[in-house]
Amino acid sequence: MAYDPNNVFAKILRGEIPCKKVYESEYALAFHDVNPKAPVHVLVIPKAPFVSIADFSVGATPDEVTGFFRAVGETVKLLGVEEDGFRTIANTGFNGGQEVPHFHIHILAGRALGPMVMKQIV
Ligand code: AMP
């Protein structure tokens, strides 16, 4: 799938849409999800244009990979959720329920989040 430069996160990166920023580095931006699914719900996105984690793992430079995952760690620290715990999710593609086609990791925290998948459907 080709990267769509008009996706909402690309617009946030270009400053065309505002966001509630948590952390920013040369390689990544972290901001609050506009429709939170937990008391803490933050998204971390790489600044480089990748559709998905699969795409990112193949196409990103070593510096971009390191920079992105360090940013996830820094964001978790800033949010103060490391001790109580948190969940990271990277929805990918149609079956993964990905809505925005710019790679992002969700950080969910602030309460016990329960089982990862609510209902066994296999
Ligand atoms: P996903 O389903 O993994 O692609 O998640 C996309 C997430 O982006 C959803 O949780 C949305 O609530 C969130 N989202 C969409 N638009 C915005 C926005 N403008 N600012 C912050 N979060 C957004």
The CATH number given to whatever domain includes residue 46 is 3.30.428.10
Domain with 41, as residue range(s), is: 8-109
Stretches in the chain below the pLDDT threshold 70 = 118-122
**Residue 2: inside a domain, yes or no?**
no
- The predicted structure's pLDDT at residue 122: 60
DSSP assignment of 46-97? ESS--SSHHHHHHHS-HHHHHHHHHHHHHHHHHHT-TTT-EEEE---HHHHT
The Cβ of residue 48 has, within 10 Å, a number of other Cβ atoms equal to 19
**Residue 117: inside a domain, yes or no?**
no
What distance in Å separates the CA atoms of residue 51 and residue 103, rounded to the nearest whole number?
5
Q: N- to C-terminal Cα distance for the chain?
A: 27
**Residue 118: inside a domain, yes or no?**
no
Quote the ligand 1 centre to 52 CA distance (angstroms). Answer: 14
Q: How do residues 26-60 score in pLDDT, each as one tens digit?
A: 999 999 999 999 999 999 999 999 999 999 999 99
- The predicted structure's pLDDT at residue 116: 81
**Choosing from 32, 102, 104, 106, which is the catalytic residue?**
104
**Residue 33: inside a domain, yes or no?**
yes
- The predicted structure's pLDDT at residue 121: 58
**Residue 22: inside a domain, yes or no?**
yes
Quote the ligand 1 centre to 120 CA distance (angstroms). Answer: 25
| Count of structural domains, the chain | 1
Nearest CA to ligand 1 atom 12: 35
